[in-house]
């Protein structure tokens, strides 16, 4: 017998996906959690939900996962800012994944989709950035390009297949339940606690509690208007330096030093050397030349009045999110090696 209100969450073993599954269960919504690899069961331990194996780039598995589903939370994506072959490993995965998820949803008769995009898909030329500014014209990063083009494609295909689609655009998610390996954003907090960010990059991040983003996804499913996009972020960004200062204040015993300022040419040289080492090791570098050229000095401030008014989105402050995230990582040091 088909379950009423059944929701599917892809990327359910990832940071947002897993916290969203937990939230929906709490709200009494029947959940089917989909992950590409369900061998690691720790994210689903003690969770009352169905767990299925599905790959966003494999249509058959997606159609099977979507059968009987009313609301589809399309969370699964390749979330990384570096890869040996970024076009193939990031861009193509996210674009094919979007197309396949939309086609599978149409085939399975899904009525409504919450598509998880990113603040990467916003135009930062006028601050605070807002949804109506349109898409990001900066085409230097394959992950950013995949989120811009993926969101546009999702809206196009939703129209074609007559499916209601709402896009949500989260900022840098931290806090909540997490499992190794940590997401890109959460790992920055971990690196600060491990004293592994030695130099000042002048990079800012817009920290948001992942539980608030999960709530925002649910609000988008229940109150969001078809064809609309909603930013799930805080109004003001915080520099890595300010974030480090918070770690100093919270944990004086760790003796964390503030990152030292270095001239930009030296910063670029350091990043260049890190990239060369990464090409050999296959492990993502701590910093890339692209990170510096794209993000150093970029203010990630947002106008979130649309999500506040239309959805009732009301996130805790960045400072509170950072404090709770740091406390969580300190409590779970063995799990994340901080």
pTM above 0.75, yes or no: yes
Q: Is residue 335 part of a domain?
A: no
**What's the mean pLDDT when you consider all of the chain?**
96
pLDDT tens-digit map of 72-106: 999 999 999 999 999 999 999 999 999 999 999 99
Q: Is residue 287 part of a domain?
A: no
Q: Is residue 284 part of a domain?
A: no
Neighbours of 70 (CB within 10 A): 18
Range of the structural domain that residue 131 is part of: 7-183+207-237+301-324
pLDDT tens-digit map of 125-172: 999 999 999 999 999 999 999 999 999 999 999 999 999 999 999 999
Q: Is residue 330 part of a domain?
A: no
Burial of 280 (0-12, 13-18, 19+ CB in 10 A): exposed
pLDDT of 4 higher than 90: no
The number of domains in the chain is 1
Asked if 56 contacts 62 with a C-beta cutoff of 8 angstroms, the reply is: yes
Q: Is residue 130 part of a domain?
A: yes
pLDDT of 334 higher than 90: no
Q: Is residue 224 part of a domain?
A: yes
pLDDT of 266 higher than 70: yes
Q: Is residue 246 part of a domain?
A: no
Interatomic CA distance for residues 52 and 33, integer angstroms: 6
Q: Is residue 247 part of a domain?
A: no
pLDDT score, position 235: 98
Looking up tokens 């670029």 gives 268
CATH number of the domain bearing residue 124: 3.40.50.720
pLDDT of 65 higher than 70: yes
Exposure class string for 135-161: b at 16+ Cβ within 10 A, else e: bbebeebbbbbbbbbbbebbbebbeee
Return all residues near 25 (Cβ < 8 A) that are at least 6 apart. Answer: 31, 47, 48, 49
pLDDT of 236 higher than 70: yes
């Amino acid at each position: 017998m088909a379950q009423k209100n059944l929701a599917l969450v892809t990327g359910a073993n990832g940071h947002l996906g897993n916290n969203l599954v937990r939230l929906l269960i709490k709200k009494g919504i029947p959940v089917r959690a989909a992950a590409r690899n369900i061998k690691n069961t720790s994210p689903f331990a003690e969770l009352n939900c169905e767990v299925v194996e599905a790959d966003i780039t494999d249509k058959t598995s997606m159609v099977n996962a979507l059968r009987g589903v009313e609301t589809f939370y399309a969370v699964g994506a390749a979330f990384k800012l570096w890869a040996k072959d970024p076009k193939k490993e990031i861009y193509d995965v996210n674009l094919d994944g979007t197309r396949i998820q939309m086609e599978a949803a149409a085939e399975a008769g899904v009525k409504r989709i919450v598509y998880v995009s990113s603040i990467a898909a916003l135009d930062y030329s006028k601050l605070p950035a807002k949804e109506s500014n349109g898409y990001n014209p900066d085409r230097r990063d394959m992950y950013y390009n995949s989120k811009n083009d993926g969101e546009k494609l999702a809206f196009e295909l939703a129209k074609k297949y007559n499916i209601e689609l709402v896009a949500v655009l989260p900022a840098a998610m931290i806090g909540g339940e997490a499992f190794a390996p940590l997401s890109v954003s959460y790992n920055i907090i971990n690196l600060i606690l491990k004293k592994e960010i030695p130099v000042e990059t002048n990079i800012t991040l817009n920290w948001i509690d992942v539980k608030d983003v999960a709530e925002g996804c649910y609000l988008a499913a229940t109150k969001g208007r078809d064809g609309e996009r909603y930013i799930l972020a805080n109004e003001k960004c915080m520099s890595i330096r300010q974030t480090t200062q918070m770690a100093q204040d919270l944990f004086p015993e760790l003796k964390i030093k503030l990152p030292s300022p270095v001239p930009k040419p030296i910063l670029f040289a350091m990043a260049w050397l890190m990239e060369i080492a990464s090409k050999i090791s296959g492990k993502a570098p701590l910093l890339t030349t692209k990170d510096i050229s794209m993000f150093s000095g970029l203010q990630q401030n947002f106008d979130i009045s649309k999500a506040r008014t239309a959805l009732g989105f009301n996130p805790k402050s960045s400072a509170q999110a950072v404090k709770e995230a740091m406390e969580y990582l300190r409590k779970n040091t063995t799990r994340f090696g901080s």
